[in-house]
Structure 1
Amino acid sequence: MRRDARILLGALGAAALLVAARFIFTSLNAYFFYYTLPIAIPFAAFLIERLADRRGVSAALVDASVVALALSRVLYPVPFVSGHVLFAAYAFATARSRAVRWSAALVLAEVMVLKLALWGDFGTPAGALSIAVIGWRVHTRLVGPVSRGTETLDGDATAGRDGSSTPLPLAGETATTIAPGGRPAP
Structure 2
Amino acid sequence: MASARLPALTLAAMMMAAGGSPADAACPQALAVYDEAQTGAEIAFAGPLPDVDGMQHRFSLSFAEGGVTMDGVVMMAGEPDRPWGVIMHDCPQGDATGAEIAACTVWEGPVYIIGVEGAVDWLPAREAMRTAGDRLLLPDFGAAVMQSQAWQAERITTLPGDVFRLKACQE
TM-score by length of 2: 0.32
Higher strand share: 2
Structure 1 or 2: more helix by fraction: 1
Which structure has more RCO (C-alpha within 8 Å, separation ≥ 6)?
2
- Length-normalised TM-score, structure 1: 0.30
Larger Rg: 1
